[in-house]
Amino acid sequence: MFLDEIELVFRGGKGGDGAVSFRREKFAPRGGPDGGDGGNGGDVVLRTSVHENTLYHLAGRRLFEARSGQPGRSSDMFGAGAEDLVIQVPVGTIVLDAERGNVLKDLDAEGLEFIVARGGKGGRGNARFSTATDRAPRHAESGQFGEERRVRLSLKLIAEIGLIGLPNAGKSTLLSTISRARPKIAAYPFTTLEPCLGIVPLGDGRSVVVADIPGLIDGAHEGRGLGVQFLKHVERTHALLHLVDCSSGADMEPVAARATVLRELAGYGGGLTERPRLLVATKVEDDEARANAARLQAESGEPVWAISAATRAGLPELLGWIAQFVRRPG
């Protein structure tokens, strides 16, 4: 299941207590203090991984706590420090303070790490408190408690190209045709159930990550339907493919469909209307569809790319347009 928002509590491990101990050796009946320090508690670390694409694996558990450090021992032996608790999260995860709402860290690349809750320091053993006036201290420090933080994790997918449009515009079909992605599709009115990423080869060893964003409906930016939950996933894209169904069986007239989606992008904000955008007429497989695509271009004043995922007509040229926005090799 896809999950892109979750609130969790992270707690660093407690530091181990320092030891109170004195040497008891055969020829040193009054040996000095030899209590060692406690070990440090483990940190809670968030680490990005390309093997995760949702936050669902963190659901069902509210608190994540690292292990405590070991207590100090006699003979000046320090307690072992605890290992860090490393939690894998998808690339594109934003860490926010749950109370204030400010961004603590934007984990927007593979292999990034963020210490979300530090472990407590271990307490000092009584050997640390020996002085000229107190050669036999009988006290030691307790280990410090680890840091506790309530945070909200918000995932914004990382993709160069975003597919946008009304439900049934053909986004999922296009993505499954040009990549190996297999989007999950439901019945009307929301079609795609969740955002889906596909890696599209462009030749010369290059590829591009394309995101299929669930279809928008009128009023999505105000909370209607499912689209508002996923508009944030196009915020990081370099360019948008705006798909409009131009077939005779389209749910909405193409010019009106285009206007509806643009209105939702503008209402959401985030500079989405300023992204490079290509208007794509989909399901153009007969004369009526071609006439609808021509009317869409004439009335919108924008260039319109006509394609058919079923016959693959126009797809090579469309991939050529996408290639100019690829910003990384391979």
**Whether pTM exceeds 0.85:** no
- Residues 122 and 146 sit within 8 Å (Cβ to Cβ): no
On whether both 128 and 263 belong to a single domain, the answer is no
Does residue 97 lie within any of the structural domains?
Answer: yes
| pLDDT given for residue 179 in this prediction | 85
| Domain boundary residue, one of 136, 155, 174 | 155
| pLDDT given for residue 187 in this prediction | 47
On whether both 212 and 128 belong to a single domain, the answer is no
Does residue 1 lie within any of the structural domains?
Answer: yes
| pLDDT given for residue 29 in this prediction | 62
Q: Which residues of the chain have pLDDT under 70?
A: 1-2, 26-30, 181-194, 204, 215-230, 325-330
On whether both 91 and 228 belong to a single domain, the answer is no
| Domain boundary residue, one of 110, 139, 155 | 155
| Gyration radius of the chain's alpha carbons | 29
d(Cα 44, Cα 62) in Å, to the nearest integer? 14
d(Cα 196, Cα 117) in Å, to the nearest integer? 31
| Helical segments of the chain, H only | 171-178, 227-230, 254-268, 287-300, 315-323
Q: Which CATH number belongs to the domain containing residue 184 in this structure?
A: 3.40.50.300
d(Cα 154, Cα 29) in Å, to the nearest integer? 62
Strands 103-107 and 277-282: unpaired
| pLDDT given for residue 48 in this prediction | 95
| Domain boundary residue, one of 101, 123, 155 | 155
Show the domain range for 309. Answer: 161-323
| pLDDT given for residue 30 in this prediction | 66
On whether both 168 and 122 belong to a single domain, the answer is no
| pLDDT given for residue 1 in this prediction | 61
State the angle between helix axes of 315-323 and 171-178 in degrees (0 to 180), rounded to the nearest 10.
80
On whether both 237 and 303 belong to a single domain, the answer is yes
d(Cα 128, Cα 105) in Å, to the nearest integer? 38
- Residues 242 and 279 sit within 8 Å (Cβ to Cβ): yes
| pLDDT given for residue 31 in this prediction | 73
Tally the domains of the chain.
2
Which distant-in-sequence residues (6+ apart) come within 8 Å of 174 by Cβ? 163, 212, 241, 243, 282, 307, 309
Q: What are the pLDDT digits (tens) for 63-88?
A: 999 999 999 999 999 999 999 999 99
Does residue 329 lie within any of the structural domains?
Answer: no
